[in-house]
Structure formats: C-alpha cells, structure tokens
C-alpha cells in the first residue's frame, strides 16, 4: 500500500477556534502530520507526492463561488480595519435562498458554518493540496492499486459544496469518491470518524450513485448536532442511499464493530465498484474529544473488516487529534487492513 502526502499541507496553522463561546487553542494543528506520517511509515507504506491535478476535481464537488471565496478571503479580510488575524465569521444566515453578499464579512458568514474552521494565511494552499492528495490516491486506485492511503490534512468531511465547518474546507472524501465515479458506476463512502460526516452526506444526499454511510457518536448532544440522525435516508434519487449509525457516547470496540457489520451489509447491497473510507481516528478512547472509546486493537479490527469488503479502496484521513497513541492507531488500522 502507498501513502500520498504533500508537505504543503503544513501551511494551514490557525491559532484559535471558538468552543462553547470561548477561544481555545486549535487542535487541528500541523503536528498531527508528524504523528500520522510516523504511523503510516511504521505500517510499511511507501510514500508518493501528489501531482497537481488542477481545479477540475475540486469543482466537480464544490461551487465556483465557494472555491473563489476560499482562495481569496484571507487577503480580503486583512483589508478590514481592526479585523481579527484569522477569518472567523460573526454572522450566519438563517437560509440560503437570497442574494449573494459582496462583503468579506457577509461571505464569511455565508460560507463558514461555525467558528471551528478559522482561515489563516496558508489555509487555501494546505486545503488545495490536501484535496490533491485525495485526488491522486483515487487516480492510483482507478489505475489498478488495490488500496491507497491519502494523508489529507486539513480534513474534509464537514465541508459541504459551499460551506466550511469543523476544521474542514474541501471535502477530500467526497472529491475522492467523485473521482472514482469516472471509472465506476457506483461508489460507497464509509465514514468511521467520531463525528458525523455531515458535509459528505449533504453533497450526495440527493444522488443514487454514491452511498454514504457514517458511524459516529450520537449527534443529539454532540457535534455536528443537526445532522447524523438515523432517520436521514437521502432524498429524491438518493432516497435509501444514506445510512447513519449513531452510537451512544462512550461506546467502545464491541458496539462500534457491530455497527460496522451493519454498514458493510448495506455497502454490499449497494454493490459499488469502489470504496472510500473516511478514516477518523478520534473515536479512540484517549482522543481529546472523548466521544467514543475505541481501542488501538479496535482500529486494527476496523481496518481488517474494511479490507474484507473486497473493493478497490481509497483511505482518506479525517479526524484524530494529538495524543500519544495517534500514530499507533493509524498503524493498527493500516496493518489490519493489509492483513484483513
């Protein structure tokens, strides 16, 4: 198995985000990269740098207004007298069926779902190359590789077609799935992050060609709160092509793996030609977010069962935050996948 990664992803380095109304140090830091690289190397993965595949794969998922916003907003924000050093919205619309604002402040509110996606000077470059990493991994799988790991950072699964949120700007897993659609009639996304992949769900909610499945902490009292409930099944052509499997807070290996078995049965019923695993490692019992209690051995079992689906697979890194076991958890998943 190969590892795809670009050093440019380190350039996104925001200092703070707002949590429960209070400024906190941003946990989605470049230091995550070093732990994840060490974990992938310990699993024996060879490294590949991504090519620049251009804006086309990003525009296949995200709107042109949104891509232009991400590329230009930091420079525009700095022109505002007394503006904060990082882009953080202070207004949010109650709907999206109105005229598009011209001001940087209005556009920040329109395109940023929450205060957990601050934009710093290097955010666009890092997010762009995080997405290119996912595109390159998908093209490797389309070209015959059985599985490829995309170390994408910043993560992506909370990003909608025109909306950032939850540390996410470009939806790398959705971009990888859309890329795989070039060679497969149907693609499945299996999200095993602690948090529901609300952006991924939103992007494909009305489509019948991409199945979205997410196992996560119950959002009734947990981020992202408004999405991720079991009643959400898709709409229109996508009805029945979305499956959410929320777990009670504190759930560990046994309930997580039981939910994974349910997810795998749905994936097999969909009969996709390829799979994207949105790999969050923040379901770990020692992760700073503390929502679930999956063990390091549990991640090995998750990897083995994902491999057992038997599909060409792109593994896209999502969450998983700084703790002593972060690299070990990735190693466990990747070894489990290779041996599964």
Contacts of 110 (CB under 8 A, 6+ apart): 93, 96, 100, 101, 162
Contacts of 168 (CB under 8 A, 6+ apart): 117, 154, 155, 156, 157, 158, 159, 199
Whether residue 220 has a cis bond before it, omega within 30° of 0: no
Phi and psi dihedrals of 177, rounded to 5? Answer: -65, -45
Torsion sign over Cα 53, 143, 61, 32? negative
Q: Where are the alpha helices (DSSP H) in 78-188?
A: 104-111, 123-142, 172-180
- How remote is the C-alpha of 306 from its chain's centroid? 17
Q: Catalytic: 12?
A: no
Place of tokens 């999502």: 318
- CA quadruple 283, 287, 291, 297: dihedral, nearest 10: 40
Catalytic residue selected from 111, 136, 158, 195: 158
Q: Report the SS3 class of residue 216.
A: strand
Catalytic residues: 158
């Amino acid at each position: 198995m190969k590892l795809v990664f670009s050093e440019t992803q380190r350039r996104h380095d925001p200092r703070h985000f707002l949590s429960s109304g209070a400024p906190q140090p941003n946990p989605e830091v470049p230091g995550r990269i070093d732990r994840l690289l060490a974990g992938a190397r310990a699993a024996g993965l060879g490294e590949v740098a991504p090519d620049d595949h251009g804006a086309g794969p990003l525009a296949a998922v995200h709107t042109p207004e949104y891509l232009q916003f991400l590329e230009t907003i930091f420079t525009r924000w700095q022109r505002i007298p007394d503006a904060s050093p990082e882009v953080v919205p202070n207004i949010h619309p109650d709907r999206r069926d109105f005229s598009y604002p011209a001001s940087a402040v209005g556009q920040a509110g329109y395109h940023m779902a929450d205060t957990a996606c601050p934009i710093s000077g290097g955010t666009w470059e890092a997010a762009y190359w995080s997405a290119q990493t996912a595109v390159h991994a998908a093209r490797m799988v389309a070209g015959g590789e059985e599985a490829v790991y995309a170390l994408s950072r910043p993560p992506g699964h909370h990003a909608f077609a025109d909306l950032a949120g939850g540390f996410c700007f470009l939806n790398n897993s959705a971009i990888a799935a859309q890329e795989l659609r070039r060679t497969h009639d149907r693609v499945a996304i299996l999200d095993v992050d602690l948090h529901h992949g609300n952006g991924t769900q939103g992007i494909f909610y009305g489509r019948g060609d991409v199945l979205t499945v997410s196992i996560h902490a119950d959002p009734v009292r947990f981020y992202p709160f408004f999405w991720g409930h079991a009643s959400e099944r898709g709409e229109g052509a996508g009805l029945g092509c979305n499956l959410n499997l929320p777990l009670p807070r504190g759930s560990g290996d046994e309930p997580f793996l039981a939910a994974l078995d349910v997810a795998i049965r749905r994936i097999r019923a969909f009969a996709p030609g390829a799979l994207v695993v949105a790999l969050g490692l923040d379901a770990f019992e020692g992760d700073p977010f503390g929502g679930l209690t999956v063990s390091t051995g549990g991640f090995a079992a998750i990897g083995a069962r994902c491999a057992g689906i038997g599909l060409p697979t792109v593994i896209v890194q999502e969450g998983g935050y700084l703790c002593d076991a972060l690299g070990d958890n990735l190693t466990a998943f990747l070894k489990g996948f290779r041996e599964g």
